[in-house]
Structure 1
Amino acid sequence: MANERIYCTTSYLLAFRLRIGKKLFGAVGPHGVRVSPSRMIKGPCATPELAALKYVAEHTSIPIPKVFNAHYYDDGLYIEMEYVRGMSLEAAWYRGHLSQDQNKDIITEVAGYISQLRKLEPPRAGIVASASLDEALDHRVGSCTFGPFTSHKWFHSYLRANVPIGDCNEVFGPEVTECHSRHYRSCFTHADIAPRNIMVDNGKVAAIVDWEFGGWYPEYWEYIKAHYGQTDQPEWQIESFHKQVQDYESMLIDIGNLVDSQSAKRIRDLLQKYNADSDYGSNSTPDASQDQNGSKRSPSPSSVGSLEAVDRVEEDLNLTESSRATGYMGKSSEITWMGRVQEETEQRSRGQSPKATSENRTSDKVAPSTINYHIDDIGVDAPGPVQMYWVPPRQVADHLFETYLRAVHPQFPIINRTLFSTQYRDFFDDRSYAGDKWLAILNMIFAIAAEYLHNSDGAQRGDIKDHLFYLTRARMLSMGGDSLFEHPDLQQVQIEGLIAFHMLSTNQVNRAWKISALAIRSATSLGINLKSSCHKMLGVSKEIGCRIWWCLYTVEHTLGSMTGRATSISTNMYTTQLPLPFDEEHLSEPTATTLLGDLDKRDKRVDMAMTSPQIRHPDLQRSEDTLAARSWLQSLPVSPGLYFLYYCDLAVVNQEILDHVYSPESATVSWEDIKSRASRLKTIVDAWVTSLPPGLDFTSVEDENQQSCWAKTNLAFHYYNTRIMLGRPSLCRHSGADREKSVDQRGFSHDMAAMTLESAMQMLDLLPDEPNMGHLCRFCPWWCFLHYIMKTATVIILELSFHCVHMPDRESDLIESAKKSVRWLHMMSMHCIASHRAWQLCENAVRRLVSSMGYDDSDIPPPPNKQRDDQFADNVGTAQVLSYNGQGQSSIRPHESHAMDHSNNNFDLTGSLAFGFLAAPSSQDHAAGDAHFPYDPISEEFLRYFFPSLDGGENPSGEKNTF
């Protein structure tokens, strides 16, 4: 296979190509990335590999990957070569894919190719060097290059560390002395001939790969290297070694539970060093539970469901704009889970065993920024001028304000609905003066409502960018200039809380994280996180402060779960009581007034009747007062206030899971401690669901009104998410020995994993089979729904990639649930870029798994065509929209209105929808090619003219240097 001229270029686009290629096609081994259907890039490589490929291509007919180009990037050599289809001889041989005759034919072929190498004449006798006669590389000799040597004598002396040949018998033995005393021919040598480096396809040798050690060596070198790389052992010996290792690991695990924390950490580090796939080595060992005889079982050979590296960062997050926008993603984040989904799906679809790739996990982990479906990489500035004091017409404002009170306030009561509604009417009716911060709150209400309306699929959806104008105006009114350096007040806390909620609901998660921390700091500086016994404050004012705290708490907790980061709301930093189970308009009634005026009575009637106080008071016993309080709560009618109380109660329990199961501190404790914590928390979660009033009990199927249905559905989503979070560390691959154990023998880990999967399927059962955006916005927690469905999808996909080891009898149910999650993501992708990205991730994984498992995938929505992707991207970056009749028009009318005075604006909400992502590109656009994805499918090259050179000039192809 002759190679054409090889060019060597300094490529500034290489990182981009590798990133895109990895996303589209995946990795090839530990150092390669496929960048097109027929090309891959390997690197960083040693220089001898390029020289060997060029020499063999020019002097033999041996099938090797064709080299197209060589790139220098970041002081490393990257070789762009042909992607060879097929599988390694090692995999084909041991899986029984080859017949006896094919095995013999392949052996004959390989022998013929080796003979071609050995017939090549060396440039000079006795040389030891690379193909280019420079330094050679062979890891059997060492990790560094060596030579070149003009004679075998000097090469042998180098191997002996310059020990004289006369001293060889004493130092190395007679065999080395005899070998180094002979004379040999120099032969061109692959130096790593092994089944793993021979690619086969249809029973024939497709290529011999990995020539990094290739060069001129003594004629015996190929032979001894073939033996050096051969690691086959008798099966009985492997089984014996495996049993011994298990016994040693079990003994170390037992010792680790008895010694001090420092010694226990040393044991964990040792196990992790020599058994990277062991969950105990990763500090989680879900399967290290007791068997029927009371002895310890060995850990499960997987780190997929484990908590390894929970106390460290495994990449430089400051390296690129993309990594900074994504930020750190910890073990509770579904983005981290999705990284493992991609690895496991790749293995499952290729039929690989976990051991085949486990040694490469550390070096080939998926970077979170490459699978981040959030949109922090997209700016939040309004795409046009903004008038600070502009307000929409009364009709539009009323519609936005009513939408907020109906769809947002019940889940996020950060404002005093009664008071703010009065102020709102006074402002529009009498044009009363309003301060900047009050206007900022109003604009954030409009921003959240505008985004909700756009996603709700209703008749009055509004422009996709409207919320950005309201957000920008709120920032100008409250966070511009020196505002950040002023001391906070209650309105500022509300503004920051609303911005954090808005950023979270629009999937600007990293930005929401920053603003949420600011809101928490502002609130604690005002003491909102503590009980208030101030006699100068009205009881209603105290309750509003309490609800503001719990709004901030739920947002911060949700962000902590989404990102896997340590939050600012640990149990020991607040004492404020749980919110009262009443709506604002009922806070002046006698029952509420009594509780607002007596903190102790409120504790007994509300807080102590809930589940979360068991976290602070584990020895708390049920008293008659507690039972009476629960009976009183269960007698209350369903209301947003009652819902919010039980939601906050569950959020505290879920936060305890994050703090004690996923925190960096968990890396310093044994799996027995983690298991004990999880067991205690499961008991608390189970107690929470049994304490629900009949009107909120989502496990019942009684007829109910819309408000009760809304409250039940929302609580059900939060509950199943909590159970998924609790059981996720136990969801991991099992060894063959574990698969043979009965369900009763598998114990705690298996039960927790099954609970996780059952909860995921139950969450999806809350949704109708036919995806409907209206149903999502009316009955579901729309502001974090994408987060929940992605968590559900990832755990189900992981189980499918594990061959349904935890639920083998429910494989078909898991398949249907996976398909359903993809269908819902597909529907959501029509409304939101983040959902579009999430759908692409899950659709690819589910389709590959379903097909590899022999199921029908025709009911999975097909992947989008290229045109659809570009049009969706245009929806964000362009200032052009289309009207309903498809005729292009500028979007200046709705956006310009935000810069006009109110008196000059005649805004029509129903006519302001941006349809940019539904537009068909013109024929002229097609002729010009795809400007959003500069890849030429014919030459399989990224279009160089799309990227300007660093000095601003042209990038002529003439700059290439012939290798």
Structure 2
Amino acid sequence: MSSHPQHAGRAFNPAKVAIPRLDRRGDEPPRKQPKIKPDRVPRACMGCRAKKIRCNGVQPACKTCSDNATHCVYASSRKDRLKTATEHNEDMMQLLRSLRNSVGESDRDKIDDILSQVANDVGDAASTLQRSPDKFRSVDEEGEANVSATVGTNEDLDNMNEDIMSSEQSRATGYVGKNSEVQWLRQLHYETDAGSHDPSASQGPYGPPGTSDRASEERAEALRQRQTHNSTYQQHTSMFNFNLDDEAVDMDFMVDPLALPTIDIANRLVRCYIDNVHNSVPILPKKAFTNEFFHHYASIAQETPHMLSQKWQAMLNLVFAIGAVYSHLTEADWRGDERDHFVYYSRAWALSLKDPWWFSHPDLQQTQITGLLAIYYLAIGHTNRSWVVIGMAVRSGFGLGLHVRNEDRTATFVKKEVLARTWWGLYTLEMLLSVITGRPSVGIESYCSVSLPLPISDDEFEETRIQALFGTWARPTTTKEPVSLGGSSEPPPTGSIRDPSNSGTYLTSTVKLVEISQRVLTEIYSPGVKRESWKQVQQTISEILEQLESWASSLPPGLSVTPHQHGGGDHVMTYERNNLKVFYHSTKILTTRPCICRLDRRIPNQSKSSNDSNEKTAAICVTSAKAITALLPDALLPENIATERYRIYETFPWWAVVHYIMQSLAILMLELSHEASSRDEQSDTMTALKKLVRWLRTLRGNNGMARRAHSIVLDILKKMAARIPIDIADLLAEDQTEPAYADDTQAQSNLFTQGHVTDEFLGHYNASQQFPDYLPTGSYPPRGNPVLHMLNSPIPNLLITEFDQYNPLPFGNGEVFMGQLDYGEPQAGSSGMDGASGDGRNT
């Protein structure tokens, strides 16, 4: 056995022995490195791999592909492919989220299911990879996509934080939703109080979007944390309600229900209604109603009995009542006693109170009575009652099929048009009240197929004219359906978007705008919006704003809401054009209101584009509030208040003047409270705010709602002035110079005060003495409170309790109004109303 160490190392030895490294001799050549084939590349192209030939790996094209003039593609590594697939999945998830609001409910649920299945997997993969620098950051990095829509000012949409049934006043106010300016004032008052103690009181937390149980639990937990963190007590909504629902509306049955005002007063009252209400809310057929009105008075003057249903006389008295309210607000020289509208209202109540209303099947006259009653309640400030009654009217319209297209072969063209306008009048009024009260609407667009109004005036309602102009025209049945022709190769003379300005085009324009408002309530203020992300709400707001601009650009020139579109010189529809301007800017305010808050403090990791969008949307909201302010007359001086005060009722929808003023005021006050604007912008906002406050002070002399609203606004401004640098010394000084009221929150103007009213206040014809057998015996309830009579009845009204003594609802039966009236020319001797057309304004 050799003793050389090298050989010794190969010998078997159970014990491992460390062998020292041998020193290399200097003449020994260097050890050769492993040979690498020169044609070996890290990755071959897809073409060479498919052909199984050598690839030289040159990029962007290898030698083989270049020689063969074929496309050379190199496959990415496995890690790169995973990264790319993850990025594509995130992009597709983001696309599905953006499309979610544009599809139906069933497709929306499918999208939610898909997102819930893949969101976690994609999120886990994305967390292990770094996104490419040339891509937008992921959804997980965009804070606006990961926070619920309640982060905006429409927070807590799905809950109520007060006991509405705790007092008579809170019951009179009822539930008020987040889209009402009453809630905005309440929130402003709360934030002002909370901000003085804790500047971070409204900074969250807020839960995530989504439909899963986990997302719902996280939102509920976020709400509990906010409530725990914000210890400031939030006062009842009724404390900020400037409506007059808590005031009594008694029916005084000492009046003679068949008594009538003199023809001069009656003519003026009907003129007030026709000129200032009918075009916006065409519940009654104008020509038929005025013809029957003059025929009735002519029969009284000639002592020839002209029998009319009690319901028609009830409608006439409600028209008188509405006209009387307008005459007092505008301080017309011919106006009667300040409580005369209560007399007309009591007569209408007595005439229509025959059977309990829930036993009666709907008929057209009952529907018209409830619609007129809703207008009257709204005009005197009883918004809650008005909302209840208009809901009854719309449901009666559903019961009569007014909401669907009329294909009755026995119905005339005039009758179909009148019925269609009656429906759309009720529809628009119900939506206005839903906006004011913040409550859901029952007039849902998808349920309606009734034709839109024809582009003609009520004065042109003649069978031959309508048949000649529109007999072969396939009229649109929804606002989204384009106008088309059926059986005619030529377009109708007045069938384009450039129709002349008249009551038909005005009502159609109003309906289209109302349906945009309905979308706002559904997609921004409904409780289900809490499941959406703030990013989705931003997209919805952007789409609605585009829809509003499209609506504005489609208006006829005489009804345009933008100065550059209005051709000027058309003064026929000035009042209606001003109404559309107010509706337009009010809808903009409603749409953009959720951005009037410090979203930059509420949304963590918010992207710059989202923050810019919030600021732009908030600026649109403030601009719209200032636009409404600009519509009001300027320079109200003490010496001309008495003569200029009525001008606001010629500019604004007079039955909701205070609503629009307070809506704009709330926005301007919120903007100031956040201190987010520049000094110049703040000065401009303060100027507009003071103008609105001064108009409230001007109107409070004969408007109980304005009086309450002025008191509420001043109280909040005083709190704001103690916390932020705003100067309201001039407003306070001016308020001291006006006559003081003992209790502004409970004060009642003479116009809206219910006293003991009887016929002695009014000059009238006593129709019951001329026609003593006209009214059937036993058709009146006992004198006194009708509700107490019902409570003692063998069949009591299940919807009326001892707490609802001032909420009249019952109506009786009667013949259908449409079937009784002739739509021909006015009878001889009564061709018009004082010889004037219905386009004038009566003050």
Deviations 1:341-362 (A, max 9, x none): 1123335677945469965547
Distance 1:896 1:736, change over 3 A: closer
Say whether 1:413 aligns with 2:282: yes
Q: 1:728 aligns with which of 582, 588, 593?
A: 593
Deviations 1:913-932 (A, max 9, x none): xxxxxxxxxxxxxxxxxxxx
1:498-577 mapped onto 2 (5 Å cutoff):
498-577=372-451
Contact 1:738 1:746 in 2 (8 A): no
| Alignment match, 1:332 | 179
Return the offset for 1:656.
1.5
| Alignment match, 2:614 | 749
Q: 1:813 aligns with which of 666, 684, 699?
A: 684
Report the Cα distance in structure 2 between the residues aligned to 1:535 and 1:341, rounded to whole angstroms: 56
Contact 1:374 1:834 in 2 (8 A): yes
| Alignment match, 2:522 | 659
Report the Cα distance in structure 2 between the residues aligned to 1:878 and 1:601, rounded to whole angstroms: 48
Counterpart AA for 2:369: I
What percent of counterpart residues are identical?
27
Return the offset for 1:500.
1.0
1:558-957 mapped onto 2 (5 Å cutoff):
558-588=432-462, 592-594=466-468, 597-598=471-472, 601-603=474-476, 612-613=479-480, 632-700=495-563, 702-735=567-600, 746-771=611-636, 772-805=644-677, 810-849=681-720, 853-860=724-731, 862-863=734-735, 867-870=740-743, 875=748, 897=762, 901=766
Deviations 1:419-459 (A, max 9, x none): 11110011111132211010011011001001111111222
Return the offset for 1:669.
3.0
| Alignment match, 1:316 | 163
Q: Is the deviation greater in 375-384 or in 505-514?
A: 375-384
Secondary structure at 1:578 match in 2: coil
| Alignment match, 1:161 | none
Q: 1:298 aligns with which of 138, 143, 158?
A: 143
| Alignment match, 1:345 | 192
1:54-453 mapped onto 2 (5 Å cutoff):
296-298=141-143, 305-346=152-193, 352-354=199-201, 359=228, 361=230, 364-382=233-251, 385-431=254-300, 432-453=306-327
Counterpart AA for 1:476: A
Contact 1:261 1:669 in 2 (8 A): no
Distance 1:747 1:631, change over 3 A: farther
Counterpart AA for 2:728: D
Return the offset for 1:803.
0.5
Counterpart AA for 2:431: H
Return the offset for 1:334.
1.1
Contact 1:444 1:471 in 2 (8 A): yes
Return the offset for 1:767.
1.2
| Contiguous gaps of at least 5 residues in structure 1 | 1-249, 267-290, 882-889, 906-963
Distance 1:699 1:876, change over 3 A: closer
Report the Cα distance in structure 2 between the residues aligned to 1:720 and 1:462, rounded to whole angstroms: 35
Return the offset for 1:679.
2.5
Report the Cα distance in structure 2 between the residues aligned to 1:544 and 1:458, rounded to whole angstroms: 31
Return the offset for 1:561.
0.7
Return the offset for 1:595.
5.9
**Cα RMSD (Å) of the superposition?**
4.2
Report the Cα distance in structure 1 between the residues aligned to 2:547 and 2:664, rounded to whole angstroms: 22
Deviations 1:167-217 (A, max 9, x none): xxxxxxxxxxxxxxxxxxxxxxxxxxxxxxxxxxxxxxxxxxxxxxxxxxx
Q: Is the deviation greater in 778-787 or in 482-491?
A: 482-491
Return the offset for 1:730.
1.9
Distance 1:737 1:676, change over 3 A: closer
Deviations 1:715-739 (A, max 9, x none): 1000001111111122211446989
Report the Cα distance in structure 2 between the residues aligned to 1:897 and 1:668, rounded to whole angstroms: 58
Report the Cα distance in structure 2 between the residues aligned to 1:900 and 1:774, rounded to whole angstroms: 30
Deviations 1:729-760 (A, max 9, x none): 22211446989999866233222222111111
Contact 2:283 2:422 in 1 (8 A): yes
Deviations 1:758-802 (A, max 9, x none): 111111111122354322222321112211111111111111111
Distance 1:469 1:873, change over 3 A: farther
Secondary structure at 1:391 match in 2: strand
Distance 1:254 1:702, change over 3 A: closer
| Contiguous gaps of at least 5 residues in structure 2 | 1-89, 101-109, 118-134, 205-225, 301-305, 637-643, 771-843
Secondary structure at 1:613 match in 2: coil
Distance 1:345 1:706, change over 3 A: farther
Return the offset for 1:859.
3.6
| Alignment match, 1:229 | none
| Alignment match, 2:26 | none
Report the Cα distance in structure 2 between the residues aligned to 1:470 and 1:626, rounded to whole angstroms: 52
Report the Cα distance in structure 2 between the residues aligned to 1:476 and 1:634, rounded to whole angstroms: 46
Secondary structure at 2:307 match in 1: coil
Deviations 1:224-254 (A, max 9, x none): xxxxxxxxxxxxxxxxxxxxxxxxxx9xx99
Report the Cα distance in structure 2 between the residues aligned to 1:854 and 1:479, rounded to whole angstroms: 57
Contact 1:302 1:733 in 2 (8 A): no
Distance 1:820 1:848, change over 3 A: farther
Secondary structure at 1:318 match in 2: helix
Secondary structure at 1:860 match in 2: helix
Report the Cα distance in structure 1 between the residues aligned to 2:485 and 2:413, rounded to whole angstroms: 29
In the superposition, the TM-score normalised over structure 1's length comes to: 0.57
Distance 1:821 1:630, change over 3 A: farther
Contact 2:702 2:751 in 1 (8 A): no
Report the Cα distance in structure 1 between the residues aligned to 2:116 and 2:716, rounded to whole angstroms: 36
Q: Highest CA radius of gyration, 1 or 2?
A: 2
Distance 1:831 1:422, change over 3 A: same
In the superposition, the TM-score normalised over structure 2's length comes to: 0.65
Contact 1:382 1:465 in 2 (8 A): no
| Alignment match, 1:154 | none
Contact 1:441 1:498 in 2 (8 A): yes
How many residues were matched structurally?
Answer: 613
Contact 1:436 1:477 in 2 (8 A): yes
Say whether 1:497 aligns with 2:371: yes
| Alignment match, 2:336 | 462
Return the offset for 1:816.
1.0
Q: Which has the higher strand share?
A: 1
Distance 1:305 1:816, change over 3 A: farther
Distance 1:566 1:898, change over 3 A: farther
Report the Cα distance in structure 1 between the residues aligned to 2:249 and 2:402, rounded to whole angstroms: 29
Report the Cα distance in structure 1 between the residues aligned to 2:762 and 2:556, rounded to whole angstroms: 48
Secondary structure at 2:528 match in 1: helix
Contact 2:374 2:390 in 1 (8 A): yes
Report the Cα distance in structure 2 between the residues aligned to 1:713 and 1:878, rounded to whole angstroms: 26
Contact 1:387 1:899 in 2 (8 A): no
Report the Cα distance in structure 2 between the residues aligned to 1:585 and 1:397, rounded to whole angstroms: 21
Contact 2:721 2:728 in 1 (8 A): yes
Report the Cα distance in structure 2 between the residues aligned to 1:820 and 1:347, rounded to whole angstroms: 28
Deviations 1:506-529 (A, max 9, x none): 221111111111111111111111
Deviations 1:842-893 (A, max 9, x none): 1232354457544442442644689523599575699999xxxxxxxx9867
